[in-house]
């Protein structure tokens, strides 16, 4: 099996663009619908918190985590 278990940078950009654009997010590998789970938190005592989203593919079970405010991959 030559497929990687991780998304490529190009695939992550596609996922991020769809999520930020509030479009249905589709897995670029298998075409499955991706679900979103909010992840709160941050480092205790540092005075800031992060709002992250965990996008999970129901088909191939790959996932990606993005920092919502920065729009970047973690």
> Using one digit for the tens of pLDDT, what is the confidence trace for 8-36?
999 998 998 898 888 899 999 999 999 99
Instruction: Please identify which residue in the block is written with the tokens 């619908």.
Output: 33
Quote the distance between the C-alpha of residue 41 and its chain's center.
16
The whole domain housing 65 covers 27-73
Question: According to the model, what pLDDT value does residue 67 have?
Answer: 82
Residue 6, domain member (yes or no): no
Residue 46, domain member (yes or no): yes
Residue 15, domain member (yes or no): no
Nearest to 63 by CA among 22, 11, 17: 11
Look at the chain and report how many structural domains it folds into.
1
**Global model pTM greater than 0.75:** no
Report CA Rg, the chain. Answer: 13
Residue 55, domain member (yes or no): yes
């Amino acid at each position: 099996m030559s497929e990687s278990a991780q998304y490529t940078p190009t695939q992550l950009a596609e996922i991020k663009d769809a999520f930020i654009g509030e479009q249905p997010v589709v897995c670029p590998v298998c075409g499955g619908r991706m679900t979103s789970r909010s992840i709160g938190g941050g480092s205790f005592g540092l005075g800031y918190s992060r709002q992250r989203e965990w996008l999970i593919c129901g088909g191939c079970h790959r996932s990606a985590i993005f920092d919502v405010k920065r729009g970047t991959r973690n």
